[in-house]
Amino acid sequence: GCLPFFAKGVVVKGFGRGSKELGIPTANYTSEVVETLPNDLETGIYYGYAKVDGGPVYKMVMSIGWNPFYKNVKKSMETHILHNFESDFYGSMLKTCIINYIRPEQSYESLDALIDAIKSDIAYADTQLDLPEHSALQTHSFFNAEK
Ligand code: ADP
Ligand code: MG
C-alpha cells in the first residue's frame, strides 16, 4: 500500500469545530498538502508520528476526512499530537508520518460518544506506537532533515 506516508506543510487555521474546547486540538494542513495524499488512501482515523518545527518527534492520531469547508469535495488532514504544548503553533512546519489505519470516520450519537471514541483512538495509538516496528520511524531521516 501507500503507508507509511510522509507529509509536511505549514499549520493553518481550521474551520473552528471547537476541538480545542473538547481538549483535542487538531492541527490542519493546507489543501495543497492534502492534495498530495494518494487517492486510494481511505478516509478515517490513522496513527503515526509528528514533529513541529525543530521539536521532538511525538506520537499523533490523524483524521483524514471530507472537508465541510469545501462542501465535502476536498479532503482534510487534522493531526492531534500526543503532547501538551505550552502554546499554539499556527504557521509552524508540521511533519507527519502516517503509519496505520485505525477505523473509518463515523457520526456519533452525542459529543460524549465522539470524545470517548477519540480517547480510545489515542490510547490505542499510544500503545501501538511503542512497538519497535513503528518506533523505528521516529528516527527516520525525514524527521532529521533541515527542511
Ligand atoms: P483549528 O480549527 O484552527 O484547527 P483547533 O481547536 O483544532 O483549531 O486547535 C488546533 C491548534 O491547536 C493547532 O493548529 C495548534 O496550533 C494548537 N495545538 C496545541 N496543542 C496541540 C496538539 N497537542 N495537537 C495539535 N494541535 C495543537
Ligand atoms: Mg483543528
Catalytic (active-site) positions? 78
Q: Which residues, including other chains, have CB under 8 Å from residue 129's CB and lie 6 or more apart?
A: 47, 48, 49, 59, 99, 135
Domain ranges of the chain: 5-135
How far, in Å, CA of 115 to CA of 126, rounded? 16
Domain 5-135 class, CATH top level: mainly beta
The three cell numbers of residue 114 are 465522539
* ipTM of model over 0.90: yes
Residue among 95, 2, 97, 94 nearest 42 (CA) = 2
| Poorest-pLDDT segment among 5-9, 48-52, 65-69 | 65-69
Pocket of ligand 1 (CB under 6 A): 11, 13-17, 19-20, 25-28, 79-81, 83, 85, 88-90
Span 78-134, pLDDT tens digits: 999 999 999 999 999 999 999 999 999 888 888 888 889 999 999 999 999 999 999
Query: What is the model's pLDDT at position 81?
Result: 98
Q: How far is the CA of 14 from the centre of ligand 2 (A)?
A: 5
Site of grid cell 463515523: 106
